[in-house]
Amino acid sequence: MAPTLGVSEHPVRLLRSPWQSHLSHLLSIPQQSLLLASPFVTRPVTDWISENLSKNPAIQTLQIVCLTNIRITSVLAGFLDLEALAELARTFNHVAVVHIPSLHAKVYAADETYAIITSGNLTPGGIKGNCEYGVAIQIPEQVREIRRDFEAYGRLGAPIAVDEISTLALELAALTNQYRAKERQVIRTAGAAFRSRLHAAQEKVLRFRARGKSNQAIFCDTIKYLLSKGPLRTIELHPLVQQIHPDICDDNVDRVIDGVNFGKKWKHHVRTAQQALKREGQISFDGERWHLTT
C-alpha cells in the first residue's frame, strides 16, 4: 500500500505504524544524498533498504550517510548488526558510517526534499511491527534545517571504515554467544526462588493486560486495527499480531487435543477472533485477503 504524496497537498503528514511504505518512498527520492540516522539497525531492514536503493536511478553517485550508536551491549543483544551495516556500505559506492555515542533520534532524509522523524529504528519491529509514530515533512526549508542539524551532529561523531566495522563485528560475534549464554546461566544459577519471582512478575504483567478484556477481545481489536491499514492475508496478519502482542502470542505453547498437535495456541485464538468478526460483519474474506468492512 504505497503512500500517495504531494508536496502541495501534504507538506506535513502524520506517520502511524506500519510506516514502511513511507520509508520506501523516501528511498526512491534522493538524487544527491540520503541521511539515515538510527541507533538500532538489523540485517532484514538493511537488506530491504539495499533492494529499494538499487532501484534508484541515481544510486551510482548517491552519497549515503548512516549515523548510528555503536554500543557494545546493543550489538551483543542483537539490536545492532554491524556486519549488516558493513554489507550496506560495500554494496553501494558512497556510504559513510558514523558512530555517535549519544544518538537516540531516528531521522531519515532524502536530499532537501523529504524527511521522516519517527520513533522507529531500522529494525523489522521499528518499521512495521511496533507501535511507532512520527511525521513526514516535505517543506524544503524544514528539511534543510533537519539535515543541517544532523550533518553538524555527525561531525561530532567518529567515521568508521567498512573493514573496521567488519573486524569489530567478527570480534563481537563470539562474544555474542557467550553474552547470551551468560544471561541464561545467570537466570539458571540465580536459583529457584529467583525464577519463581521472575515468573510471578511476568504473570502480574499479563494480569494487567487481561484486566477487563479477554484475549479474544484483544485479538479482535488488533485485527480491526491492522486491517484499517489495508487488506491482509492470514499469513501476513499473524506475524503482525504477534509483533504487537508478543506476551500473549507465545510460540512455545501448542494446542494439543487427544495427543494431536494442532499448531500454536495463539494462532487458534486469532482465527477464532477472525471468524467472530466475520460473523458480526465487521470483516470479510475475499478468498485471499481479509478486509475491514466497518
The residue range of the domain holding 242 is 194-292
153 and 107 within one domain? yes
Give a yes or no: residue 83 inside a domain: yes
Residue 180 lies in a domain: no
- Three-state SS string across the chain, please? CCCCCCCCCCCEEEEECCCHHHHHHHHHCCCCEEEEECCCECHHHHHHHHHHHCCCCCCCCCEEEEEECCCHHHHHHCCECHHHHHHHHHHCCCEEEEECCCCCCEEEEECCCEEEEECCCECHHHHHHCCCEEEEECCHHHHHHHHHHHHHHHCCCEEECHHHHHHHHHHHHHHHHHHHHHHHHHHHHCCHHHHHHHHHHHHHHHHHHHCCCCHHHHHHHHHHHHHCCCCECHHHHHHHHHHHCCCCCCCCCEEEECCEEEEEHHHHHHHHHHHHHHHCCCEEECCCCEEECC
CB of 23 closer than 8 Å to CB of 127: yes
- Check whether residue 60 and residue 159 sit in a common domain: yes
What is the CA angle 218-223-224, rounded to 5? 100
- The pTM of the full predicted model, rounded to 2 decimals, is 0.72
Give me the pLDDT at residue 202, please: 63
100-104, 127-131, 274-278: which has the highest mean pLDDT?
A: 274-278
- Are residue 59 and residue 204 in the same domain, yes or no? no
pLDDT in tens, 203-242: 666 666 556 677 888 899 889 988 988 899 999 999 888 8
5: pLDDT confidence band, cut at 50, 70 and 90?
very low
> What is the tens place of the pLDDT at every residue in 112-152?
999 999 999 999 989 987 889 999 999 999 999 999 999 88
The CATH number of the domain holding residue 58 is 3.30.870.10
Those residues whose C-beta lies under 8 Å from the C-beta of residue 44, and which sit 6 or more positions away, are 123, 124
Q: Look at 80-89, 153-162, 272-281 and tell me which has the smallest mean pLDDT.
A: 153-162
Q: What is the pLDDT of residue 194?
A: 63
Phi, psi of 147 (to 5 degrees): -65, -45
- 97 and 211 in a single domain? The answer is no
Asked if residue 161 and residue 16 are part of one domain, the reply reads yes
**Confidence grade of residue 10 (pLDDT, cut at 50, 70, 90):** confident
Instruction: Answer with the one of 122, 156, 171 that is the final residue of a domain.
Output: 171
Same domain, 25 and 167: yes
For residue 6, pLDDT over 80 is answered with: no
Residues 133 and 275 in one domain: no
Q: How many CA atoms lie within 13 A of 81 on its CB side?
A: 17
Residues 63 and 150 in one domain: yes
CATH (domain of 245):
1.10.10
Single residue among 140, 171, 202 that ends a domain in this structure: 171
Inside any domain, residue 151: yes
The verdict on residue 7 lying in a domain is no
| Between 117 and 156, residue with greater pLDDT | 117
Does any domain span residue 136?
yes
Of the residues 137, 171, 205, the one at which a domain ends: 171
| 24 shares its domain with 147 | yes
The reply to whether 246 and 139 lie within a common domain is no
Q: For residue 177, is it within any domain?
A: no
Question: Do residue 199 and residue 88 come from a single domain?
Answer: no
Cα-based angle 282, 285, 291 (whole degrees, multiple of 5): 55
Same domain, yes or no: 164 and 198: no
Q: In the chain, how many domains are there?
A: 2
127 neighbors 120 (Cβ within 8 angstroms): yes
In a domain, 44, yes or no: yes
- Single-letter amino acid, residue 143: V
Query: Which range, of 8-22, 44-58, 177-191, 239-253, averages the lowest pLDDT?
Result: 177-191
Q: Quick check: is 183 in a domain?
A: no
Q: For position 206, what pLDDT does the model report? A: 62
